[in-house]
Amino acid sequence: MLMELPASFDPYRAATANEVIKNQFDSQGLERLKQSVLSIGDEPLQVELEFSTDITGRSYLKGKVALLVELECQRCLQGKPYPLTAYLDLVLLRHEGQVEKYEGESEPVVIEDDGLDLKTLIEDELILALPIIAMHDEDCQPWQAEAEPEISKAEAEPERENPFAMLAQLKKD
């Protein structure tokens, strides 16, 4: 069984150590994400995160998380598999006062010393990465109709001669 993402994690220590998290995690505990999609299946959550610091000592969390989910197509209301991916580029700041002063490109997140709830953060990022409207790429119904060629194929096949019928024919002679 796969591990869940930690709900309490020291990101500043991880940043100082240039820690990398590259692993698969359990996706079944992502209850809020589950409610935002049709289903999340059995696929594991793919996590690639890098903690780092810059020369000024600021801590960063960058990377991506990915999970195959099923969304409802807004046209035919059937399920549509969707590779949900969230890209993270966060600067970790210890209090609000630092957010105003921060002028870099990364998205500021305030995390006090006691720890980062990595699970909640990742789930938030995945929910934010959901498309506003999900739809099959092509027309929904014709695609399904074309996926049933079995009958016509059977009809097109020429009838094979029955070897037992041939035996019966020989016996008669």
Asked if 38 interacts with Zn ion (CB under 5 A), we say no
Compute, in degrees rounded to 10, the torsion defined by CA atoms 78, 140, 67, 69.
0
Residue 5: burial class (beta carbons within 10 Å; 0-12, 13-18, 19+): buried
Shortest separation between residue 70's beta carbon and Zn ion, angstroms: 12
Taking the least distance from each CB to Zn ion, the nearer of 146 and 161 is 146
* Piece in contact with Zn ion (CB under 5 A), picked from 49-57, 58-66, 76-84, 86-94: 76-84
Residues 138-157 that bind Zn ion (CB under 5 A): 140
Q: Does 75 bind Zn ion (CB under 5 A)?
A: yes
The mark string for 117-136 relative to Zn ion (x by CB under 5 A, - otherwise) is -------------------x
Is residue 109 within 8 A of residue 100, CB to CB? The reply is no
Q: Name the residue type at position 49.
A: L
**Which residues bind to Zn ion, rule: CB under 5 A?**
73, 75-76, 136, 140
